């Protein structure tokens, strides 16, 4: 019986010291064996899967995480975010980390320009970090990163973009506010020159993500949040390759000629402006 080997494999885990590890491995063995039985998985298909996973690992580098990309395009990353989302309806909705948070964002002064290349439409991003009850959180950390105006992250173009382009680590002021100057992000394809790209082509899926900016906000005694803001009207909002769009995170990036904000941020008028309040739950 095919169930005999499953039962034996699960019994072999009974002395695992860590109870959570035992739970995870037991469920993994059970579901993996059920998958093989349900699909009548062949030796050739399993060998192909092993080659795919091997190639995925071989594609990973210090600046590229193909396994995170695989998790993203299979919807697992977003499923985990949903399973472990915040309980407070006031808290900012989380979304995927993505595969490009691979290097530390440089600490920057309030209002600093993170668009070191200057090849995109000028934009000011402002916001506040708040507790779920609306209290501002001074001294909170806001990690910001995005692709350039052409849809590439600095780690993808080390010979074109200076290190840290599109990245900044900001600290909120006494009223919980933060602000930076950047460029309007553009939609872009996730990397398709590796195994994940082969998977997308085999399943006839496009590789595009809607334009967005990433944030991680953290403050003492609060649960950090990893999230994005998405550009309203982007053609890929309804078909994000990594399933990460949430309506509450879509922003207008509206044109403005606000002279005070322009002077404060060092941008010509008109420019684009996007705002987000990053609301954290207390631990």
pLDDT on residue 229: 98
Orientation angle between helical segments 66-73 and 195-202, nearest 10 degrees: 20
Mean pLDDT of the chain: 95
Distance CA 127, CA 157 (A): 29
pLDDT on residue 99: 87
pLDDT tier, 89 (very low <50, low <70, confident <90, very high otherwise): confident
pLDDT at 2 over 80: no
pLDDT at 67 over 70: yes
pLDDT tier, 1 (very low <50, low <70, confident <90, very high otherwise): low
Give the predicted TM-score (pTM) of the model. Answer: 0.91
What is the residue-wise DSSP string for 156-221? G-TTTSPTTTTEEEEE--TTSEEEEEEE----EEPP-SSHHHHHHHHTT---EE--EEEEEEE-TT
- The least confident of 93-102, 177-186, 247-256, 274-283 is 93-102
pLDDT on residue 86: 66
As a whole number, mean pLDDT of residues 60-78 equals 95
141: β partners: 171, 218
Give the pLDDT confidence of 120-163 residue by residue, as tens digits. 899 999 999 999 999 999 999 999 999 999 999 999 999 999 99
């Amino acid at each position: 019986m095919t169930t005999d080997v499953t039962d034996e494999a699960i019994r072999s885990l009974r002395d695992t010291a860590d109870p959570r590890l035992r739970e995870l491995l037991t469920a993994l063995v059970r579901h993996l064996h059920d998958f093989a039985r349900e699909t009548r998985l062949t030796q050739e298909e399993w060998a192909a899967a092993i080659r795919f996973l091997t190639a995925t690992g071989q594609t990973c580098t210090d600046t590229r995480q193909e396994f995170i990309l695989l998790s993203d395009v299979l919807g697992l990353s977003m499923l985990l975010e949903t399973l472990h989302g915040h309980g407070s309806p006031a808290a900012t909705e989380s979304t995927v980390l993505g595969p490009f948070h691979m290097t530390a964002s440089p600490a920057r002064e309030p209002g600093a320009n993170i668009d070191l290349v200057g090849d995109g439409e000028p934009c000011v991003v402002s916001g506040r970090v708040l507790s779920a009850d609306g209290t501002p959180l001074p001294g909170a950390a806001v990690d910001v990163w995005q692709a350039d105006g052409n849809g590439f992250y600095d780690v993808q173009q080390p010979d074109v973009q200076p290190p840290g382009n599109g990245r900044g680590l900001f600290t909120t002021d006494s009223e919980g506010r933060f602000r930076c100057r950047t460029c309007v992000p553009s939609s872009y394809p996730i990397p398709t020159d590796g195994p994940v790209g082969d998977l997308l082509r085999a399943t006839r899926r496009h590789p595009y993500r809607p334009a967005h900016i990433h944030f991680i906000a953290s403050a003492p005694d609060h649960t950090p949040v990893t999230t994005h803001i998405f550009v309203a009207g982007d053609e890929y909002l309804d078909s994000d390759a990594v399933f990460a769009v949430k309506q509450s995170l879509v922003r207008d990036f509206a044109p403005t000629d606000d002279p005070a904000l322009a002077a404060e941020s060092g941008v010509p008028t008109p420019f684009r402006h996007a705002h987000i309040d990053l609301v954290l739950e207390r631990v």
